[in-house]
Amino acid sequence: MGVLAGRTALVTGASRGIGRGIAERLGRDGARVAVHYGSNERAAKETVAAIEAAGGSAFAIGVELGRPGDSAALWEEFDRHADGLDILVSNAAIGNSRPIDEIAEDEYDRLFAVNVKAPFFLVKQGAARLRDGGRIINISSGLARNAVMPHNMAYAMTKGALDVFTRDLSKVLGPRGITVNSVAPGIIDTDNTAELLYGAPDGWDRAAAFSALGRVGETADVADVVAFLASDAGRWVTGGWVDVTGGSLV
């Protein structure tokens, strides 16, 4: 029996990248995983299939976040498959933004709608479904604490807002034994960072140089930390900001 056996997890943006790594890890640990996706149904079904092939249980939920009524639609779909939730991982996000002299208002608004508003209202509308003793884990970014990529300012701002949400929500839900934490990755090898890593001959080496450990992160590096916080071993950690940048902020 896995350490999360009998628990149900929802991971937003779980069809690929960091979200998929987290969903697969929680599935291996025994949780039944709701694999949320915005538009790539095929990728989400591949994530579900991978979890099931490893002996786990999962189902897909397709709702585009950042639209009016998105949270209500997601929970309506979730309720068709499960009767309660133990672990909520808010991972879905728009992963970059144009510089301040290029970004338009509609892009800015869309960024905040997906990265900040959606996680907020998922909790607001899903709190009754989240069982006492549950876990909320918000995927932040090292850029919320470091200006190494100032061109990505608006994106970094959304993650700073998410961190404030984490901090204050931990006080609101603490009386129910629910922990709330932010996990902040650095540069991780996903399709979202493909241009950075592979767009120039020295891209990989330059990215690896940010880390004190001298390498680019893998999705498992983030998923393992999330799995710890989701487990009983993480019961005394709440309101925290966990640096998973490989020492990029040292």
104 Ramachandran zone, left/alpha/beta (phi>0; psi -120 to 50): beta
Name, in order, each residue with C-beta under 8 angstroms of 178's C-beta and a sequence gap of 6 or more.
130, 132, 133, 134, 135, 136
Q: Does the annotation mark 159 as catalytic?
A: yes
> Which one of the listed residues 15, 71, 90, 155 is annotated catalytic?
155
Q: Does the annotation mark 45 as catalytic?
A: no
> Which one of the listed residues 15, 71, 90, 159 is annotated catalytic?
159
Q: Does the annotation mark 171 as catalytic?
A: no
Angle between helices 17-28 and 41-53 (to 10 degrees): 30
Q: What are phi and psi of 60, to 5 degrees?
A: -100, 145
Cα separation, 22 vs 132, whole angstroms:
22
Q: Does the annotation mark 15 as catalytic?
A: no
Cα separation, 153 vs 176, whole angstroms:
35
> Which one of the listed residues 97, 140, 170, 182 is annotated catalytic?
140
> Which one of the listed residues 15, 71, 97, 141 is annotated catalytic?
141
Cα separation, 44 vs 40, whole angstroms:
6
Catalytically active residues are: 140-141, 155, 159
